[in-house]
Structure 1
Amino acid sequence: MTETGIIDTHLHLVNRSRLTYPWLANAGSLNADWSLESYGAEARRVGIIKALHMEVDVAENDIGNENTWVAELSQQEQSLICGIISACRPEGDGFAAQVERAKDDILIKGFRRVLHVIPDEVSKSTKFINNIRRLSGTGLTFDLCLRADQLKLGMALVDAAPDVSFVLDHCGVPDIAGEQFLPWRNDMADFARRDNVTAKVSGIIAYTRTEQWVLNDLAPYVQHVVDSFGFDRLVWGGDWPVCTLGGGLSTWVAASQALLAGATHEERAKLFSGNASRIWKL
């Protein structure tokens, strides 16, 4: 792992003077600007060598502007940004054109539409499903970001688009603070039976008892994801700056390394870099 470095598949950057983020008004300490310079300074110290920028749920009319801004950042000297997971609206009429543009854009590696901010009926609609199917054969992935109680919703979407490559964010967003392990465990094992899904070990320190958590609080969740998906279908994400709610990027990197200390060098290399490099051709 230390020889290959870490590819962070989940980086959020925020520029409130350039883009509009409707959700930030109620986001507490996250309602701030989060720059590539601040991230990069810490990321390099902990061995991160590349990062995929993950869309930050900007206002719909700013989706293209967010991609343009991140592309500019990727051109900066020693920039860690190697790709973009773009925001999208598969429930709308413009998705087909967006996919066509993305196929010619070497930076855009996939799409995400956060499902827990829209009614469940939206992602069940024929238009939404047919639009997601457009990703088949393109090499573009679709990130699934949903709550633990929506995992069956996510599975239904995966089943409706079996030729699309999906990435399940944040270990399926378990309610670690509420100790709701069993329902999540069963649904995650079911999710893992779909071989077109990769799980992302990311974000979970934000679902703990804030900064009071200890490693053993996380261990059953990470171990279950590893056991269910196997090291060939796992990637790692920092989820900066959301990870600052649970201790920060350096803390999450250290926790991840401790949680996976029992894995072989080859297994850790797959999770921390190899799989991401293969999936997104980084």
Structure 2
Amino acid sequence: MDLIDTHQHLILRDRIGYAWTAEFPILSGDFTREDYAGLVAGKGIVGTIFMETGVDDADYQAEARMVAGMVGSVVGGVPMLGQIASIRPEHDEGFDPWLEEAAGLDTVGFRRILHVVPDDVSLTDTFRRNLRKIGRAGFPFDLNFLARQLIPIGVPLIRACPDQPYVLDHCGVPDVAAGAFDEWAKGIDAIAGFDNVVVKFSGITTYCAPGTASVDLLRPYADHLLNRFGPNRMLWGGDWPVVNLGAGLPAWIDMARALLAGLSPDEQHAIGQGTARRVYGV
């Protein structure tokens, strides 16, 4: 099962600010494309899509401009196929010019991390009006919600903007460490009911208690996603280097393969790269 990594971050501190990483010593220093290529050598990664890294507000546009110079190039045998750029739908000022500029920066999608802002940010008319512009421009929008936000925040947003394609990041952020399966599963059931949403099979080891991530622990979550979304509405992501807070990238690749091993070759291909190519147009 060859993989397109739809969630590759980079940390390049000489050019961009990453204040959020200060509380995570394991994320100190730089994380480059060369580092990434070394980790995935021989792991079947056929390409990556850069995912905006939650950089300091003053730098999110600079990050996208910087990454645009990387898209199309190959490092260590791994090509970068496109980028998912950060955007601020909650603000009218500057939104339209940035949407237009970013569309020319090899952007294949947009994201605004919503679990780090007040819950009501995505409930405003401004946010929803601008989100619809993203859909009309032909781009998917990656959703970052905590499990507790899926029904009260995620469902109303998706319902209010029904023509917008969505990608639900990080399996809907289940609190695996707390064993909060039922709350998460109800949220997944609600989100999966919308045909314009696919789910990203990524990030889940980060939500396990330290040192506990395993195939057996994660299998109920993977099976629930497969049952509710199906392989044609799932795509894989590595979430490097944030995945270092969990199992690390090589181990997550191995776990993902094991969790999906029972699927047919066509189903594995869909999750590994087919859905990514369709949704992001790479």
TM-score (norm 2): 0.95
Point out where structure 1 has 5 or more consecutive residues left out of the alignment: none
Q: CA deviation at 1:101?
A: 2.2
Q: CA deviation at 1:277?
A: 0.8
Q: CA deviation at 1:73?
A: 2.7
2:69 corresponds to which of 42, 67, 72: 72
Identity score, percent: 39
Q: CA deviation at 1:270?
A: 0.3
Q: CA deviation at 1:75?
A: 5.1
SS of 1:200's partner is strand
Partner AA of 2:128 in structure 1: I
2:189 and 2:228 in contact (8 A); partners too: yes
Counting matched residue pairs gives 278
- Structure 2: how far apart are the matches of 1:231 and 1:219? 15
Deviations 1:246-273 (A, max 9, x none): 2211111110111011110000000000
Partner AA of 1:187 in structure 2: G
Q: CA deviation at 1:131?
A: 0.6
- Structure 2: how far apart are the matches of 1:162 and 1:25? 37
Partner of 2:60: 63
Partner of 2:104: 104
1:40 and 1:80 in contact (8 A); partners too: no
Partner of 1:169: 169
Q: Does structure 1 residue 250 correspond to structure 2 residue 271?
A: no
- Structure 2: how far apart are the matches of 1:31 and 1:156? 37
Deviations 1:114-148 (A, max 9, x none): 11110011111111111101122322111001111
Partner AA of 2:155 in structure 1: M
- Structure 1: how far apart are the matches of 2:14 and 2:165? 34
Point out where structure 2 has 5 or more consecutive residues left out of the alignment: none
Q: Does structure 1 residue 24 correspond to structure 2 residue 2?
A: no
Partner of 2:211: 211
Partner of 2:259: 259
Q: CA deviation at 1:83?
A: 0.7
SS of 1:135's partner is helix
Q: CA deviation at 1:209?
A: 1.5
Q: CA deviation at 1:149?
A: 0.7
Structure 1: which 4+ aligned runs deviate by more than 6 Å? none
1:71-150 matched pairs, under 5 angstroms = 71-74=68-71, 76-78=73-75, 79-92=78-91, 93-105=93-105, 107-150=106-149
Partner AA of 1:169 in structure 2: D
- Structure 2: how far apart are the matches of 1:213 and 1:269? 24
Partner of 1:221: 221
SS of 2:70's partner is helix
1:211 and 1:245 in contact (8 A); partners too: no
Q: CA deviation at 1:76?
A: 4.1
SS of 2:69's partner is helix
